[in-house]
Structure 1
Amino acid sequence: MRKIFSTLLVLLSLSTSAFAATITDGDIHKGDYKWFQFNIMQSIDNKIPFQNQQDTYFEMEFGGRSGIVDLYGYLDVFDVFDSSKSDRHDGDNFFFKFSPRFSLDYMTGSDLSFGPVQELYIATLFNVGDRDLFEQYIGIGSDIQVPWLGKLGANLMARHVRENYDAGDEGTWNGYILTTNWFKPFVNFENQTFITWQGYLDYKFGADKIADDVDRTNWSLEWFNGIYWHSKRYAVGYGLKYYQNMALFKSGGIAGETSGFGHYLAVTYKF
């Protein structure tokens, strides 16, 4: 066991040393990259408030790195086939998530890594809904090297509410969010395709300014686990998502069932 632990420490130190080299040679753009893809998604029994469970929607997803900026985001366009069978039919049209992070290592010109933590960021997040939803977050972020899993993104941010479906916390700072995300190829084929375990966990907590509303709660959880097959241009996958008090609505109240499991099917084209 001691030998295994020592080996892990060596691997972690090598990974942080390799990162340190990229910020001490003066070229912060050496590791720049970008990606962009279109997804057709089918949601089944998901726990979006007000019975928005079944829908076929279009998703434009993107991300990358440019100097100090690490970026992820997506735009969902609901009921993309204009189907009367969709729970989103004649309802909300879109949801937008935008999450730029700004490297403290690159801005300070210093290697701030320690142990398994490879890099530190000022983390931000924006959640924007079609009608009456606009959340802003800011805090601290990191990339953490985890044995076997690889790089795990983790962020802890404070929540500011501009719009929240007329909840009592609009216009205030109310609560926090802890987010994680990962992308782990675990099966590789000779034709350069591979299978991944990818997902995220978002935990909101401490939203006490709406605790007196019997239909709302001060915490929520979303945990997505996807198994995807990837080629250079395409991906196909299935995701199982666990919800608890989705969007800070208590399950069984005016918003309907907001806790439990939902399912997602995805077909992707990569640019």
Structure 2
Amino acid sequence: MGLTGSVSCWAATAPAKGVDSAQGEDLSYEVAPANTNQKAAPWYNQNFTLIGSKDISFGPRPSDDIYLEYEYFGRKGPFELYGYIDAPKILGIGNSNDSGAWDKGSPIFMEHEPRISIDELVGRKLGFGLFKEFYIAFDWIYDMGHNKAGRANTLYTGLGTDIDTHSPVNLSANFYARRQWENYGASNENSWDGYRAQLKYILPLGKYSNGASLTYVGFTNFDFGSDLHDEPGSPRTANATVATNVLLYSFTHLRFMAVGRYFHNGGNWKDGSQLDFGDGPFEARSNGWGYYFGVGYQF
């Protein structure tokens, strides 16, 4: 789930008036005025979404799942917040490569992507040219797992910026170094291992007489420089790319989404490698398309 296995980070998105960040700043699904007293705070957005996924290749065997996701996002002063918490296989529906709390899998998968405005911390505008604002950026990904071998704990740390495209496209970029703790027993545990370059982009497509809006949301993560491939004959790779494309059809509270996500060396697994995890040999499938469909409610 997440940027490493769910479809969440796309979702900080249907732009509201005044939006100038694709990271999640001041973004709202609202297309009509709502009673902000119903929110935890006027700047704080949250929603629940039920998501069905198919052929998701963050491991060498694609998984299908139906799971529940809680998501939040907003901007308060220098702090830009975005994150989600997933309950994998919450309905007990998924293929043999998928597991959740009810069948000795992971009960929780979550990702949190806060950014802190350097401009606001120092009290002056640092942007220049196409770069509108600069941030200290983080991306923490945690898979609780059923045991240590099924757990992952990754922190990306770096710098971010919002980019002026002189067009309706909202664009944000982040560059991170990766600190890896648990990683499902992989050889890069407890080390600094590699980097991530990330782009997020949003394009409003239209508003309709029924009060709905249609938005394209995309983000691409390019991971590189990992030492996982160093062992002779290793089925792991130094690089991995995930490109996510979302169509979001949303009302004030109700929203529907359809997602196509392309994986190349998903999870740093080499496509076509011959593997055996103790239940018989198989060929890794870490390149190709995966899909998500979801319905959610924002409050």
TM normalised by structure 1 equals 0.83
Equivalent residue number for residue 160 of structure 1? 179
Equivalent residue number for residue 193 of structure 2? 174
Q: Which residue identity is paired with 2:251?
A: S
Equivalent residue number for residue 110 of structure 2? 96
- Describe how 1:23-102 pairs up with structure 2 within 5 A: 33-83=43-93, 85=95, 87-89=97-99, 90=103, 91-102=105-116
Q: Percent identity?
A: 29
Equivalent residue number for residue 29 of structure 1? none
Equivalent residue number for residue 256 of structure 2? 236
Equivalent residue number for residue 204 of structure 1? 223
Q: Which residue identity is paired with 1:41?
A: I
Equivalent residue number for residue 163 of structure 2? 144
Q: Tell me the CA shift for residue 208 of structure 1.
A: 2.6
Distance 2:93 2:115 in 1: 37
Contact 2:49 2:70 in 1 (8 A): yes
Equivalent residue number for residue 117 of structure 1? 131
SS at match of 1:121: strand
Structure 1: gaps (5+ residues): 1-14, 17-31
Contact 2:112 2:140 in 1 (8 A): yes
Q: Which residue identity is paired with 2:122?
A: T
1:192 equivalent in alignment to 2:220 = no
Q: Note the alpha carbon deviations across 1:80-113, whole angstroms, 9 max, x for none.
A: 1123656423223331111111110000001011
Equivalent residue number for residue 4 of structure 1? none
Structure 2: gaps (5+ residues): 1-18, 21-41, 146-150, 276-282
Q: Note the alpha carbon deviations across 1:106-163, whole angstroms, 9 max, x for none.
A: 0000101112211100111101112321111111101112233432121001001111
Distance 1:125 1:177 in 2: 10
Q: Note the alpha carbon deviations across 1:155-179, whole angstroms, 9 max, x for none.
A: 0010011111222211111100011
Change (3 A) 1:209 1:247: closer
Change (3 A) 1:50 1:261: same
Contact 1:56 1:86 in 2 (8 A): no
Q: Would you tell me which structure has more helix in proportion to its own residues?
A: 1
Determine which structure has greater relative contact order: mean sequence separation of CA pairs < 8 Å that are 6+ residues apart, divided by chain length.
2
Q: Tell me the CA shift for residue 250 of structure 1.
A: 1.5
Size of the aligned set, in residue pairs, is 242
Equivalent residue number for residue 252 of structure 1? 272
Change (3 A) 1:264 1:109: same
1:106 equivalent in alignment to 2:82 = no
Q: Which residue identity is paired with 1:105?
A: D
Distance 1:149 1:88 in 2: 39
Contact 1:157 1:178 in 2 (8 A): yes
Change (3 A) 1:84 1:176: closer
Q: Tell me the CA shift for residue 76 of structure 1.
A: 1.4
Equivalent residue number for residue 266 of structure 1? 294
Contact 2:228 2:236 in 1 (8 A): no
Equivalent residue number for residue 33 of structure 2? none
Q: Would you tell me which structure has more strand in proportion to its own residues?
A: 1
Contact 1:46 1:263 in 2 (8 A): yes
Q: CA RMSD in A?
A: 2.0
Larger Rg: 1
Change (3 A) 1:84 1:228: closer
